[in-house]
Chain A
Amino acid sequence: MRALLEVEDLTVAFTRRGEPDSVAVDGVSFDVQPGEIVGLVGESGCGKSVTSLAIMRLLPERGNRVTGSVRMEGESLLDLSDAGMRERRGRDLSMIFQDPLSSLNPVIPVGLQVTEVLTRHRGLKKDAARREAADLLDRVGIPDPRRRLDSYPHQLSGGMRQRALIAIALACTPRLLIADEPTTALDVTIQAQILDLLKQLVAETGTALVMITHDLGVVAGLCDRVNVLYGGRIVERAERHELFRAPRHPYTHGLLGSIPRLDGPPGEELTAIRGSVNDNLPWTAACAFAPRCPRALEVCTASTPEVEEHDGRLLRCFNPVEGS
């Protein structure tokens, strides 16, 4: 099957006059099959959000340089005209953001924000768009959708707002949905509801989902395949079950070790990953993770580890954790 989205060697550098470029995304490649749920995991500053913005071409016009290629159904998104990209956004691919309150326009009713997309991309007339909008709100589990259309964003609860945003993003049944930490601003019970809803909706509509998160719990419940990002590069990629059964990159290993487990032995101590992103080495002549890595060797600070494939799993490490 042909991939829906192919990201190849995507590099985003933020440029600033008089200063060296800062590379946020450094040659990231991954693909998404139709209907698949792909996770992009990593801690703050690893480049996951910038990757998603670069795919959507939502980075500011100036101050950054995007290279590499992003192809959706064979068409290069980076080479599209601005108008062509605007046509595709919301119709073929759309996005959900982290903070549901600030992502909705506070001064216009929720219904109008749904119908806006419907009239724009599906050419619906006002009345038809309103009926369709009510249906959409109903499908994402908003009670009394007809009256909710006239509510303003501040009158909805956080979970309700994120449901509304999901309804807006899926209004034109795009083939790709990028969700950038859609549950970070919500409390835990609502998080679970929203994730279930996303999972159910993408299954119903056949939409592929790129799930960007720092929360491995989210990944565990949702994703088919997982890309682990560190310092702007993919350090490990595997099927979900493979990744959780036997994490091989020390970073993934550390991430999993830092999460409390219900089935772990009582009194088990969590292992933290030492240091922070600030301790990174440049990828150009080392492994960026080396200073924080418990398994670092001499070679890790002397040359760049390349991506290697071991039985369906991508790994960028000189001294990976042995698979069991």
Chain B
Amino acid sequence: MTSVLARRRNRIDDLGGRSLSADALIRLRRNPVAIVGAVIIGLFVLVSIFAPLIAPHDAAAVFPELQRNLRPDSIPGAQPGFPLGSDQNGRDFFSRLILASRQTLIVGVLATLIGLVLGVVIGALAGAFGGWVDTVLMRVTDVLLSIPSLLLAISIAALAAQPSQTTVIIAVALVNVPIFARLLRGSMLAQRESDHVLAATSLGVKRSAIVIRHMLPNAMGPVIVQATLTLATSILDAAALSFLGLGDGDPARAEWGLMLANAQAYLDVRPALAFYPAIAIILVALGFTLLGEALREALDPKGRR
């Protein structure tokens, strides 16, 4: 009994600040969907960090004992030392699968981050200034949004003379820019009409401080949620670009989208070559989506208790 009372008292006495984001984190930890998503992503990140330690072999190494058994109608399966058998070129499939997680993480995170930063700058400018700045920026955004995202990414990637991982990142990042810009601009506009911005204005707070301190932090919620969801689509887009041959052409490099593309020719010989990379892509995308959805719920003011 006393312990309950003591805890209540403590809670009442706890005047220290607990911000909205701290509140959201607490709500997030109670949500099983968030935990599933976080576990998937956590495993994925761990695997990609420690990939060279986990993978028994080098991604590019060709093994004679595997290559010997390659036939047009059969690819060697699991055997001692090679848990998932060989790929179509006599390399260790398991090692390649593990090492590919790194590429995927780098591409996904960088493409999202670059898109986020550019999008936030554009959206904040449009939302804060309004008028012709808003009109010009948003019309450009509209044009970019009107093109299907993958088509846009393909066009941008195709502009590069030499397809590489960098061009994939840039292409996917540019596709993300208008999404973030549009989203932030909308919530900045909503903030501009809000009571607390009016109150800050009535106190003579400078315009720059109003934008940076009073509008932007309040407008970022939906953008952060979108960022987690965009991580998923960025990974899918990057995989799609590799699959379509617009990624890094280096056959030694392991990348899930590329592995999937190359496995096409051997689908009837050894479907596992396509199955594992596909499952990996789906799992990671699912992880980010689950976490993003949970984050959206946690940040939703209506969910506050």
Contact = CB atoms under 8 A, between A and B. Distances in A.
A144 to B, nearest CB: 6
Contacts of B213: 105, 108, 116
A183 to B, nearest CB: 16
A99 B17 contact: no
Nearest to B199: A103
B204 A90 contact: yes
Interface in A144-164: 144, 147-148, 150-152, 154-155
Contact of A95 (B19, B202, B217, B304): B202
B71 interface: no
A108 B199 CA distance: 14
Contact of B205 (A56, A58, A103, A120): A120
Contact of B16 (A97, A120, A150, A169): A150
A107 B19 contact: yes
Contacts of A90: 202-205
A58 B205 CA distance: 13
A165 interface: yes
A109 interface: yes
Interface in A106-163: 106-109, 116-117, 120-121, 144, 147-148, 150-152, 154-155
A292 interface: no
B209 interface: yes
A107 B218 contact: yes
Contact of B17 (A86, A105, A144, A152): A152
Interface centre among A107, A120, A147 (most CB of B within 10 A): A107
Nearest to B201: A58
Contacts, number: 92
Interface stretch (B1-9, B167-175, B190-198, B234-242): B190-198
Contact of B202 (A56, A120, A144, A154): A56
Contacts of B21: 107
A150 B198 CA distance: 23
B195 A117 contact: no
A107 B198 CA distance: 16
B201 A89 contact: yes
B202 A58 contact: yes
Contacts of A106: 20, 196, 218
Contact of B199 (A87, A91, A104, A152): A104
B18 A155 contact: yes
A137 to B, nearest CB: 12
Given A104-B196, A117-B205, A169-B203, A147 B20 contact: no
15 contacts: A86-B206, A89-B202, A89-B203, A90-B203, A94-B202, A94-B204, A95-B202, A99-B195, A106-B20, A106-B196, A108-B217, A109-B19, A116-B203, A120-B205, A152-B17
Interface of B: 15-21, 194-196, 198-207, 209, 213-214, 217-218, 304
Interface of A: 56, 58, 86-91, 94-95, 97, 99, 102-109, 116-117, 120-121, 144, 147-148, 150-152, 154-155, 165, 168-169
Given A58-B198, A105-B196, A108-B214, 14 more contacts: A89-B202, A90-B205, A97-B198, A99-B195, A105-B218, A109-B17, A117-B203, A117-B205, A120-B203, A120-B209, A148-B15, A152-B17, A152-B18, A168-B203
